[in-house]
């Protein structure tokens, strides 16, 4: 399997105590294909149902990986996931806040003791029709001066991570708030901030977290660790 760039997959977070925002990154290209059915069988019935609803194998692997990450957190922090308001997955222990996203080769999971949202997007060509659904008029004016696929992806990931952090998700239209200003990308809520912990040639990653969290660490995690739950 090809290796992702180290600036996205740095290994400098070893503690399991939540003293920062910790973002796990899993590259699904390392998934053991021959173990798909046995791994699927270890997950709960709802996660199995969700994973099996996907016809595409990569989509199924992303869903399985998300389930493994949730189970890892449940075991690591001795808590249990449930579905809260607006359909957001939450932990029974509200000192464990988490969020999951996946796109392309990556599945990511951010965890903190404060509200957190994470989004990863694959960098792709965009069309003007999509811009109208994502950007506010003021953002469009700024964007048109610096048009690029990477900038648009950063805006999209920022907006997704923000609505996930505040817990409203799809119930908040992306055109109802602004993240792109003349000063750059900024969270619309003064209590929150965006961190972009690196990228590779195909993906952009954004974490929206409380300003009180001084550190964001990104940790590469493999399937052996996911399967062990350690």
Architecture of domain 21-228: Alpha-Beta Complex (3.90)
Question: Do the beta carbons of residue 178 and residue 218 sit within 8 Å?
Answer: no
Banded pLDDT at 191 (limits 50, 70, 90): very high
Where would I find the beta strands (DSSP E) of the chain?
21-27, 81-83, 89-91, 97-103, 106-112, 116-122, 180-181, 184-185, 192-195, 203-210, 216-220
State pLDDT tens for residues 110-120. Answer: 999 999 999 99
User: Reduced to 3 states, what is the DSSP secondary structure of residue 191?
Assistant: coil
Three-state SS sequence of 56-121: CHHHHHHHHHHHHHHHHHHHHCCCCEEECHHHCEEECCCCCEEEEEEECCEEEEEEECCCEEEEEE
The whole-model pTM stands at 0.88
Say which residue, 3 or 222, is predicted with more confidence: 222
**Mean pLDDT score, 188-199:** 89
**Which residue, chain included where needed, has tokens 């069988």?**
41
Q: Structural domain boundaries of the chain?
A: 21-228
d(CA 81, CA 197): 26
Question: Do the beta carbons of residue 28 and residue 219 sit within 8 Å?
Answer: no
Banded pLDDT at 19 (limits 50, 70, 90): low
State pLDDT tens for residues 23-56. Answer: 999 999 999 999 999 999 999 999 999 999 999 9
> Measuring CA to CA, which residue among 14, 12, 27, 107 is closest to residue 69?
107
State pLDDT tens for residues 124-159. Answer: 999 888 999 999 999 999 999 999 999 999 999 999
45-67 burial by CB neighbour count: b if 16+ within 10 A, else e? eebbebbeeeeeeeebbbbbbbb
């Amino acid at each position: 399997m090809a290796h992702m760039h180290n600036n996205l997959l740095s290994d400098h977070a070893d503690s399991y105590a939540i003293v920062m925002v910790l973002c796990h990154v899993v590259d699904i290209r390392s998934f053991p294909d021959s173990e798909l059915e046995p791994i699927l069988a270890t997950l709960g019935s709802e996660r199995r149902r969700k994973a099996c609803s996907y016809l595409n194998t990569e989509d199924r692997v992303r869903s399985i990986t998300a389930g493994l990450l949730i189970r890892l957190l449940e075991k690591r922090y001795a808590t249990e996931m449930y579905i809260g308001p607006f359909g957001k997955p939450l932990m029974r222990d509200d000192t464990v806040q988490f969020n999951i996203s996946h796109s392309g080769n990556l599945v990511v999971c951010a965890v903190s003791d404060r509200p957190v949202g994470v989004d990863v997007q694959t960098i792709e060509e965009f069309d003007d029709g999509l811009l109208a659904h994502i950007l506010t008029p003021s953002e469009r004016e700024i964007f048109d001066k610096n048009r690029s696929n990477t900038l648009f992806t950063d805006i999209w990931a920022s907006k997704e991570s923000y609505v996930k952090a505040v817990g409203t998700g799809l119930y908040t239209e992306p055109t109802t708030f602004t993240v792109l200003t003349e000063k750059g990308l900024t969270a619309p809520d003064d209590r929150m901030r965006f961190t972009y912990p690196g990228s590779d040639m195909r993906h952009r990653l954004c974490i929206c977290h409380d300003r009180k969290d001084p550190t964001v660490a990104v940790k590469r995690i493999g399937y052996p660790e996911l399967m062990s739950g350690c």
